[in-house]
Amino acid sequence: MMETIHFNLEEMQTAASQACRLLKVLANQDRLIILCQLSKGEMCVGEIEALLGITQPTLSQQLTVLREEALVSSRREGKNIFYQMNDPKALAVMGVLYALFCNQNKGKK
């Protein structure tokens, strides 16, 4: 006999809404690249700018979006502002994206 799976539509809609919100934030190339770097560990704004070549105004704008969505957190140390990943769900999604898109050519010739 087939088992009937019951689900709560309201809970499913809430979960779908949360997933869509995260995916919308990740659907920006600059934000995605920033999160790729931050998934490796904390970095200061100057390091991110130098490593990724994203201009300061764009970088500030994208970091603000990531901070407002609580995907990253920041701390100030003197004149430097450091950012780190703050959301385990976003980090898990970044891991899947890395496995699917960034790690696909390793070991191939």
| CATH label of the domain that carries residue 35 | 1.10.10.10
Q: Which residues does 92 contact at the CB level (< 8 Å), separation at least 6? A: none
Asked if the model's pLDDT at residue 84 lies above 60, the reply is: yes
State how many domains the chain has. 1
Confidence (pLDDT) at 109: 47
Among 87, 77, 82, CA closest to 63: 82
Please give the biggest Cα pair distance in the chain. Answer: 66
> Which pair of tokens denotes residue 21?
């919100």
Whether 36 is covered by a domain: the verdict is yes
Domain membership of residue 36 as a residue range: 29-102
Whether 45 is covered by a domain: the verdict is yes
Asked if the model's pLDDT at residue 90 lies above 80, the reply is: yes
Whether 83 is covered by a domain: the verdict is yes
Kindly provide the residue ranges of all beta strands, DSSP E only, lying in the chain, ordered along the sequence.
43-44, 72-77, 80-85
Whether 68 is covered by a domain: the verdict is yes
Whether 8 is covered by a domain: the verdict is no
Residue 86 and residue 64: Cα distance in Å, rounded?
13
Q: Are 48 and 83 in contact (CB under 8 A)?
A: yes
Asked if the model's pLDDT at residue 108 lies above 60, the reply is: no
Whether 43 is covered by a domain: the verdict is yes
Asked if the model's pLDDT at residue 3 lies above 70, the reply is: no
Whether 17 is covered by a domain: the verdict is no
Of 24 and 107, which is predicted with more confidence?
24
Q: What is the DSSP string of 72-87?
A: EEEEEETTEEEEEE--
Q: pLDDT for 37-72, tens place per residue?
A: 999 999 999 999 999 999 999 999 999 999 999 999
Whether 6 is covered by a domain: the verdict is no
Structure pTM? 0.84
